[in-house]
């Protein structure tokens, strides 16, 4: 065309090259070619084609995440088309403006532009385009979390497609209704619509679309927690795409298989599928998707507790996005690095990367993402024990979400505020915010989220020591998930009912609920959760021993407990679940300490059992240290310290005090007030034991620790725990207020 000196066709060719580069994710080259096409059309005075190139430039900038440039180009496109009085093209320009604002998270403006586009098409009597605008409005309302409005718009799209006898449009409308109901967490309705869409595409012989609908059904079953069904549909999708030899879509399918395995807790299989997806994208030269798979690999390794591998993958993801100059995804990469550091217990690095991510989103004008980053900063500060900073960040988040009128995310913020106050030990404020969150979700008819707020309320009441209310809330959570037929969450509800009853010292009821949970997890093949149930059952059996006077029964219970912990260790070793293994080894060491407590003093000192006790708890504490779980390590160390205090064969007050003091320092550093009170109580008991051995100055020290513990429990309104300390002080204090002998 250059040799023919045909300027008009050269401009067409530059446009086509732009499209190729855009589809390839190489946005700079795409922009350059669209610009060349635009300039040539301008020289030729072809105003309509100049406007079209502004449209293409806007679409490319939108995909690239450069929304201000996209808006600028689209405004020029609109102005040109208005000058040409091309009503159909003006309607299309309004549509593109709506789309830019939608992905920018500016939903009100997006709706307004889609509505303008719809009205123009209505004036022009272009029924198919009117239907498309109803679809776009529905999609925007779905993104905005306004599901009722989304359904209403999509039903109008469907009605027009049926009137036009547009079978492809009808099939697609059913798919969109499925997506809305899936986002609304109404999975049964979603599946019905997805299947109707798939059946229509099958009748039309559109295999590519049939595969896409199987993909959607799999995604919905994954959200619903029905992992086997999800896998079944995703495998079907894969086989169709392999038949069609569509490498790009095969890569997408491997990614989705990875997601299913990841939420199923099968991390090895997840990693393998993400890697297959990554390799295919690499062969295709799709750099953006290669980077996305590094992101997914990093997220999976993070969940698996393999932080070094997660960090390595995420650095590769960041480098790729920086090379592509993809600012939104660079911000997203910083966010993922933060989450890795946070899970690793490296809070300073996490905060720094969250701030980098937030600052980038601020530059990009992505208010919704800025709010999300304030939310994560609040979560990180909360875990770090810096509650005032956490509260400040969460209020920033709330203000933005209120300005965006995003009710669903406002509900999330109330929940987060509740969690901050809960960890801070301010239970009344926590309950108030959690109830506000639940009430908002009820207004939105988001049943799954309503259920989750009952779960958080139960957890808050459990921490507050109000066990009846905790059980009541947890049963609400159970009932709602039974109505939703969400089996993993039903199993989780049984597990937490077991946890509540265990803390309440009602071990028989606890065991009953743990067994229900175990049976469900076994049916669902959720190995990681199955191991947690084995451990929970073993721990309850160990605690039952303390209330058992018959030594034979006690040793039988300990044998059963040991069997459960060994099974947990076997599952967790196979799955390489390090956090689980940390807890398994601590509980195993406490089972050994209970054996030693029951052993006769006359027996020759069971050195082998003492060695087992020490070996297991040291292994557990080492796992916690490797995972960066400083607070959890300190919490478990308190149980070991108590064993050194209470079990005569193990008695070692120096070691007990050393562990308790280390834990106390951690709880003070991370502002864990209840745990601080618990460690001060234990130190008081250790010094009480020293006082009984007539060690100097121990009475005053014991009094000090117990008084400080009592004060904290009273401040936190933990009446039962305060009563325990008062009873301890009352029975060991003389009338001078100093612990008596």
Per residue in 199-235, pLDDT (tens digit) is 999 999 999 999 999 999 999 999 998 999 999 999 9
pLDDT of residue 444: 85
Rounded distance, CA 573 to CA 285, Å? Answer: 38
Determine the average pLDDT of the residues in 384-393.
96
SS3 label, residue 344: coil
- Cβ-based neighbours of 685, under 8 Å, separated by 6 or more: 645, 702, 728
pLDDT digits (tens, 9 = 90+) for 665-721: 999 999 999 999 999 999 999 999 998 887 778 889 999 999 999 999 999 999 999
25/601: higher pLDDT: 25
pLDDT of residue 601: 52
CB 682 within 8 A of CB 645: yes
Q: Which of 527, 640, 629, 656 has its CA nearest to residue 268?
A: 527
pLDDT of residue 734: 58
What Å distances lie between residue 42 and 9, 225, 579, CA to CA? 14, 55, 63
Q: What percent of the chain has pLDDT over 70?
A: 98
pLDDT digits (tens, 9 = 90+) for 619-668: 999 999 999 999 999 999 999 999 999 999 999 999 999 999 999 999 99
SS3 label, residue 603: coil
**pLDDT of 741 strictly over 50:** no
pLDDT digits (tens, 9 = 90+) for 460-519: 999 999 999 999 999 999 999 999 888 999 999 999 999 999 999 999 999 999 999 999
Which two tokens mark 564? 């459960």
The enclosing H or E element of 734 equals none
CB 261 within 8 A of CB 270: yes
pLDDT of residue 325: 85
In the block, tokens 């509900």 appear at 411
pLDDT-derived band at 603, boundaries 50, 70, 90 = low
96-100, 112-116, 400-404: segment of lowest average pLDDT: 400-404
**pLDDT of 411 strictly over 90:** yes
- E-assigned strands of 49-170? none
Determine the average pLDDT of the residues in 311-321.
97
Q: Which of 538, 528, 438, 441 has its CA nearest to residue 491?
A: 528
290-294, 453-457, 691-695: segment of lowest average pLDDT: 691-695
pLDDT-derived band at 140, boundaries 50, 70, 90 = very high
pLDDT-derived band at 423, boundaries 50, 70, 90 = very high
pLDDT of residue 736: 47
**pLDDT of 389 strictly over 90:** yes
**pLDDT of 6 strictly over 90:** no
What residues pair up with 124 in beta bridges, in sequence order?
none
Rounded distance, CA 634 to CA 612, Å? Answer: 20
Rounded distance, CA 231 to CA 239, Å? Answer: 12
pLDDT-derived band at 304, boundaries 50, 70, 90 = very high
Rounded distance, CA 586 to CA 540, Å? Answer: 14
Output the average pLDDT for the chain. Answer: 93
Which two tokens mark 681? 């109580």
17-26, 269-278, 297-306, 454-463: segment of lowest average pLDDT: 17-26
pTM of the model: 0.83
pLDDT digits (tens, 9 = 90+) for 372-383: 999 999 999 999
Rounded distance, CA 646 to CA 593, Å? Answer: 10
pLDDT digits (tens, 9 = 90+) for 155-176: 999 999 999 999 999 999 999 9
């Amino acid at each position: 065309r250059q040799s023919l000196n045909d300027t008009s066709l050269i401009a067409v060719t530059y446009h086509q090259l732009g499209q190729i580069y855009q589809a390839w994710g190489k946005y700079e080259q795409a922009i350059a070619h669209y610009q060349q096409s635009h300039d040539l059309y301008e020289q030729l005075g072809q105003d309509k084609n100049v406007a079209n190139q502004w449209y293409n430039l806007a679409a490319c900038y939108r995909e690239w995440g450069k929304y201000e440039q996209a808006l600028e180009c689209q405004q020029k496109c609109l102005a040109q088309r208005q000058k040409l009085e091309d009503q159909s093209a003006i309607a299309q320009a309004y549509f593109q403006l709506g789309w830019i604002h939608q992905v920018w998270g500016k939903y009100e403006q997006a709706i307004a532009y889609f509505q303008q586009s719809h009205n123009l098409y209505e004036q022009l009597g272009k029924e198919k385009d009117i239907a498309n605008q109803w679809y776009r409005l529905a999609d925007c309302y779905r993104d905005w979390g306004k599901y009722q409005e989304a359904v209403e718009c999509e039903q109008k799209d469907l009605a027009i497609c049926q009137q036009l006898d547009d079978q492809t449009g009808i099939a697609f409308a059913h798919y969109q209704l499925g997506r809305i109901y899936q986002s609304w967490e109404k999975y049964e309705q979603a599946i019905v619509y997805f299947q109707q869409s798939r059946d229509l595409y099958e009748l039309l012989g559109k295999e590519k679309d049939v595969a896409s609908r199987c993909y959607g059904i799999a995604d919905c079953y994954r959200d619903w927690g029905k992992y086997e069904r999800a896998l079944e549909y995703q495998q079907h999708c894969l086989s169709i795409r392999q038949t069609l030899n569509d490498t790009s879509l095969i890569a997408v399918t491997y990614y989705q298989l990875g997601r299913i395995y990841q939420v199923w807790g099968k991390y090895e299989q997840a990693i393998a599928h993400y890697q297959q997806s990554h390799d295919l994208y690499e062969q295709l030269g799709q750099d953006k998707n290669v980077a996305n798979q590094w992101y997914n690999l990093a997220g999976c390794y993070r969940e698996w507790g393999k932080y070094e591998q997660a960090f390595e993958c995420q650095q590769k993801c960041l480098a790729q996005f920086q090379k592509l100059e993809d600012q939104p995804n660079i911000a997203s990469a910083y966010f993922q690095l933060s989450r890795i550091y946070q899970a690793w217990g490296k809070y300073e690095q996490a905060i720094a990367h969250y701030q980098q991510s937030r600052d980038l989103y601020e530059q990009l004008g992505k208010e919704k993402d800025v709010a999300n980053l304030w939310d994560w900063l609040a979560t990180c500060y909360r875990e770090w024990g810096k509650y005032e900073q956490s509260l400040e960040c969460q209020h920033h988040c709330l203000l933005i979400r209120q300005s965006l009128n995003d009710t669903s995310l406002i509900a999330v913020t109330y929940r987060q505020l509740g969690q901050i106050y809960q960890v801070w030990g301010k239970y009344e404020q926590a309950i108030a915010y959690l109830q506000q969150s639940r009430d908002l979700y009820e207004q939105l008819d988001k049943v799954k989220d309503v259920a989750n707020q009952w779960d958080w309320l139960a957890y808050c009441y459990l921490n507050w020591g109000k066990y009846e209310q905790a059980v009541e809330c947890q049963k609400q959570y159970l009932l709602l998930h039974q109505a939703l037929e969400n089996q993993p969450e039903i199993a989780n509800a049984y597990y937490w009912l077991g946890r509540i009853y265990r803390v309440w010292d009602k071990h028989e009821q606890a065991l009953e609920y743990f067994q229900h949970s175990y049976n469900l997890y076994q049916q669902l093949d959720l190995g990681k959760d199955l191991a947690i149930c084995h451990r929970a059952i073993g721990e309850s059996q160990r605690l039952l021993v303390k209330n058992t006077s018959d030594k034979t029964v006690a040793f039988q219970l300990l044998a059963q407990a040991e069997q459960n912990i060994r099974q947990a260790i076997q599952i967790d070793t196979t799955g390489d679940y390090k956090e689980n293994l940390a807890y398994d080894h601590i509980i195993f060491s406490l089972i050994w300490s209970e054996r030693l407590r029951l052993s006769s003093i006359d027996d020759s000192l069971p050195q082998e059992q003492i060695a087992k006790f020490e070996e297991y708890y040291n292994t557990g504490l080492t796992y916690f240290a490797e995972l960066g779980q400083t607070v959890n390590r300190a919490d478990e160390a308190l149980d070991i310290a108590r064993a050194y205090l209470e079990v005569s064969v193990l008695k070692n007050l120096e070691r007990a005090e050393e562990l308790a003091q280390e834990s106390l320092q951690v709880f003070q550093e991370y502002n864990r007030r209840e745990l601080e009170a618990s460690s001060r109580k234990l130190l008081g008991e250790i010094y009480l034991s020293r006082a009984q051995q007539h060690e100097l100055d121990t009475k005053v020290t014991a009094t000090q620790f117990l008084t400080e513990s009592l004060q904290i429990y009273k401040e936190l309104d933990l009446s039962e725990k305060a009563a325990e300390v008062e009873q301890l002080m009352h029975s060991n204090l003389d009338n001078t207020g100093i612990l008596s002998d």
